[in-house]
Structure formats: structure tokens, C-alpha cells
Structure 1
Amino acid sequence: MTFEEAAAKVKKLKTSPNNDELLELYALYKQGTVGDNNTPKPGMLDMKGKAKWNAWDGKKGTSQDKAKELYVEKVDALVGKYGLE
């Protein structure tokens, strides 16, 4: 499966992944499409934004190709765990 196919499949999961899985998907997607996080860290009151920023920042140094590969693997595992609609 390609990165684009994985991005489409993740939207068709029967059950929504848990927060940790969603953060991992977000971080790998951003790293794969944008590269290293170069945005300012959200403020203290933006808990969701901060969690997403930290997850993406944790992938710093991972190449875009590697992040895409890991994203596809993660989606494949989630399809096995949750199934598709």
C-alpha cells in the first residue's frame, strides 16, 4: 500500500484509534509530508495542540521517506486491529 492509500484507508476504520495511536499517525503523517517540525510550540492552554506538536517534534531527524514507510506500517496494523467500514 502506498502512503496515499494508507492516508485514505485510515479514514475508513470501523473504530477510531485511541489517542496515542492518533498522535502517532499525526506525527508520522506530518513528518512524511512536511519534514521536521519548524512551527512554534503552542501555548500552555492548548493541550491538544501541544500534544500534537510534541508528537511531531519527537520524529525530528526521521527522513520523510522513512516516516511515510512507518505511517503505512502503522495504518496496516490499525486496519488489522479495527477493520474497515
Structure 2
Amino acid sequence: MSLQGYFDKAADDVRKLKTRPDDEELKVLYGLYKQSVVGDVDIGLSKDDAMSAYISKAKELIEKYGI
């Protein structure tokens, strides 16, 4: 699967979390998502790096909250 494929799956899985993450977690996740989709939003990552970071954060939240 491509990086984009993993990103899309992670984005879909995050929507299925059993419990809503706290505001700080959502802020980080949203920033990485926007950086991945839109491009530079002042967090200093390329789109690919932002996608990778988003996938990692999504996995962390999935482990913490379950889907």
C-alpha cells in the first residue's frame, strides 16, 4: 500500500474511535492532517512527512482509545 493509502486508512480509522481524544490530541492530529492535505501550514513538515506523522499519531490514538 502507498503512503497515501495508509494515510487514507488512518484518517478513516480515526473517525471510528470509541472515545473522543482530548483537545490537545485532536489539535495535533488536525494540524498533521491539514499539512498532509493542504500543504504548508507552518509546522515545518513536507506533505509526506506530515502523512507519516499523522499515521503514527493515528495508530497511537487507536491503541489508546480503540475502534
- TM-score, scaled to structure 2: 0.89
1:36 CA displacement: 1.0
> Among residues 63, 68, 71, which one is paired with 2:46 in the alignment?
63
Please report the RMSD computed on the Cα atoms of aligned residues, expressed in angstroms: 1.1
* Matching of residue 25 in structure 1 with residue 8 in structure 2: no
In the TM superposition, what is the alpha-carbon distance from 1:19 to its structure 2 partner?
A: 0.2
**Tell me, which stretches of 5 or more residues in structure 1 are unaligned?**
38-56
Q: How many residue pairs end up in the alignment?
A: 63
- If the length of structure 1 is used for normalisation, what is the TM-score? 0.71
| Stretches of 4+ aligned residues off by more than 2 angstroms | none
1:29 and 1:8 map into 2 onto residues whose CA distance is 12
Unpaired stretches in structure 2, ≥5 consecutive residues: none
Larger Rg: 1
